[in-house]
Amino acid sequence: MGSASQDTYTLPPATSPSLGLAHPTDAEKRRTWALNHTHWGGALTLEQYLKREAYFTTIPLTRDGGMTHWILTDSAWSPAAATDSSTRPVLASCESIRKRVLVAYSNPDPGADSTTAAAATVHERVGHGIGSVFTYPEFRGNRYAARMLSDLGPWLRKWQAQDGRDAACSALWSDIGKQYYAKKGWAAFPSLHAEFLVPVPVSVSVDGKESGREEQEEEEESERGKGEGEGEITPISYDNLEPLCQRDEQLLKERLLRTARATRRTSAAFAPDHDTLRWHLYRDDYISSVLFKTAAPFARGAIAGPEGRRVWAVWARSYGGIGAPADNVHKNKLYILRLVIEPEASEEMKEVPSNDIQEAFTAVMQAAQRESSRWHLGKVDLWNPSTIVKKLIDQSGLQHRWVERDEDSIPSMMWYGDEDVRNVEWVANEKYCWC
Ligand SMILES: CC(C)(COP(=O)(O)OP(=O)(O)OC[C@H]1O[C@@H](n2cnc3c(N)ncnc32)[C@H](O)[C@@H]1OP(=O)(O)O)[C@@H](O)C(=O)NCCC(=O)NCCS
């Protein structure tokens, strides 16, 4: 059974003052994971899923207390009241992940000394991603998830605060539509993505052999032969990722200041930093190492164009179905975690993007499609592209369609500042933010 014996324990109303947040024991975590494996296990067996959840506490971003597990439980429950005398009730559960958030104010930050400096500065705050909101099947419909969230929202404002400052926000990605979390204070933000179809796979088989590999190598060779700015691609790997993240963050800070000035709204972004990106890549590695018994190289992204005029994307694989990846190509995707246009500031002033940027963008997306095709991924998804990136997509000639998600992965934010959340610009609301 999932929790305290119901023989002697009557489920309390969700409003009961004896209910509160707590951190689960290791045994409670395992019991929760065993139950939610059917929702989030994907292609992993239960045993592989249990290992993965434990592994997440050891990787960048979520190690060293970066991830916190939460449960809603009942302090009125006592072991003596339960016939099995072992387990307290786990009425709902979730996790939070500490993240860095960058904030630019349109008006001076009320907390700062110099108003001018404050307006021209990007402030660093703590933010929290919330994931895996779950209620054990036998407890559903009692508003326990609602109660947990109504306690957790305000609690996260002070949780892991730095320098005595409140967190900027918490965010989650709803898989149950736009209403449920919005009613609890996490407003739904845009959930548009461009979906690119991937040509028929040049597949990597589970044992590492690649069919059609020779043809692909010839194609890649011819790509490499092209001159600078004409589609030459540098793959992204763990080795060259960090400086790209640093450059990205610098550019994003400038964009936040521009956005705050132009919109006269507070503008915020999750930092696309090395830890955040690596969290996605480690997660991808874990799942792929289970699905493929191969160490075949996988590019983590691609860069095109000369320094100063580069376009790059960092990406990760997602395998949706149960069973062999080759049998679920239509459910498998490559997610563009983050797309960067290095000269974005000058390009966004133009009606039509410059030719070299258009070529670099198209080359990067073609590289994403090639990599997808090798790894049984039927689509490439790019979340919430900026205005300039929308133009680049439309003029790329690449087959794509626009999808507005209504049900799943709806970015939703609770803002802890004075502004109404609807007046906050969430800049770079891309897949790298997700957890
Ligand atoms: C979603 C979930 C956490 C709700 O837990 P709960 O304790 O029963 O939630 P509450 O009693 O607070 O709220 C029930 C509400 O959730 C709604 N809900 C539950 N599942 C839903 C779904 N798949 N789509 C839309 N709404 C859903 C119910 O319709 C009900 O709506 P109401 O408030 O208008 O009556 C629970 O159903 C669950 O664990 N589901 C599986 C995992 C999951 O999908 N988690 C959400 C990830 S974003």
User: What are the tens digits of pLDDT across the range 248-302?
Assistant: 999 999 999 999 999 999 999 999 999 999 999 999 999 999 999 877 889 999 9
Q: Which helix (H) or strand (E) holds 404?
A: strand 400-404
The band of 214, judged by pLDDT with boundaries at 50, 70 and 90, is very low
- Ligand 1 pocket: which of 32, 135, 142, 434 to mutate (most atoms <8 Å of CB)? 135
Say yes or no to pLDDT of 372 above 50: yes
Which atom of ligand 1 is closest in space to residue 91's alpha carbon? 7
User: Which residue's CA is the closest to the ligand 1 atom numbered 43?
Assistant: 134
Higher-pLDDT residue of 4, 356? 356
Say yes or no to pLDDT of 208 above 70: no
Question: Nearest Cα to 81, choosing from 3, 195, 15?
Answer: 3
**Is CATH 3.40.630.30 correct for 19-188?**
yes
95 alpha carbon to ligand 1 midpoint, in Å?
Answer: 16
Percent of the chain with pLDDT over 90: 80
Which atom of ligand 1 is closest in space to residue 172's alpha carbon? 48
- Ligand 1 pocket: which of 37, 96, 180, 434 to mutate (most atoms <8 Å of CB)? 180
Which atom of ligand 1 is closest in space to residue 40's alpha carbon? 42
Question: Nearest Cα to 424, choosing from 271, 192, 260, 261?
Answer: 260
The band of 213, judged by pLDDT with boundaries at 50, 70 and 90, is very low
Q: Looking at the DSSP assignment, which residues form a beta bridge with residue 174?
A: 410
Say yes or no to pLDDT of 92 above 90: yes
Residue pointed to by tokens 């065993």: 34
Say yes or no to pLDDT of 63 above 80: yes
**What b-and-e string marks burial along 257-290, b requiring 16 or more CB atoms within 10 Å of the CB?**
bbbbeeeebbbbbbbbbbbbbbbbbbbbbbbbeb
The mean pLDDT value of the chain amounts to 90
Separation of alpha carbons 326 and 376, rounded Å? 6
Separation of alpha carbons 380 and 371, rounded Å? 10
Q: Is 339 helix (H, G, I), strand (E, B) or coil?
A: strand
Query: Tell me, what's the pLDDT at 67?
Result: 97
User: Which residue's CA is the closest to the ligand 1 atom numbered 29?
Assistant: 141
Which atom of ligand 1 is closest in space to residue 183's alpha carbon? 33
The torsion angles phi and psi of 295, rounded to 5 degrees, stand at -105, 25
- Ligand 1 pocket: which of 140, 174, 181, 191 to mutate (most atoms <8 Å of CB)? 140
The H-assigned helical ranges of 130-175 are 144-158
pTM: 0.91
Pocket of ligand 1, beta carbon within 6 A: 39, 92, 133-135, 140-146, 174-177, 180
User: Which residue's CA is the closest to the ligand 1 atom numbered 14?
Assistant: 141
Q: Kindly report the CA angle at 386 between 200 and 231, in degrees rounded to 5?
A: 50
Say yes or no to pLDDT of 227 above 50: no
Say yes or no to pLDDT of 50 above 50: yes
pLDDT mean over 109-117: 50
Distances (CA, A) of 110 to 17, 186, 255, 370: 36, 24, 22, 49
| 205: CB partners within 8 A, 6+ apart | 211, 294, 326
Sequence ranges of the domains in the chain: 19-188, 192-237+299-404
Q: Is 41 helix (H, G, I), strand (E, B) or coil?
A: coil
Q: Note whether 61 and 278 are within 8 A (CB).
A: yes
User: Which residue's CA is the closest to the ligand 1 atom numbered 28?
Assistant: 141
Separation of alpha carbons 154 and 167, rounded Å? 10
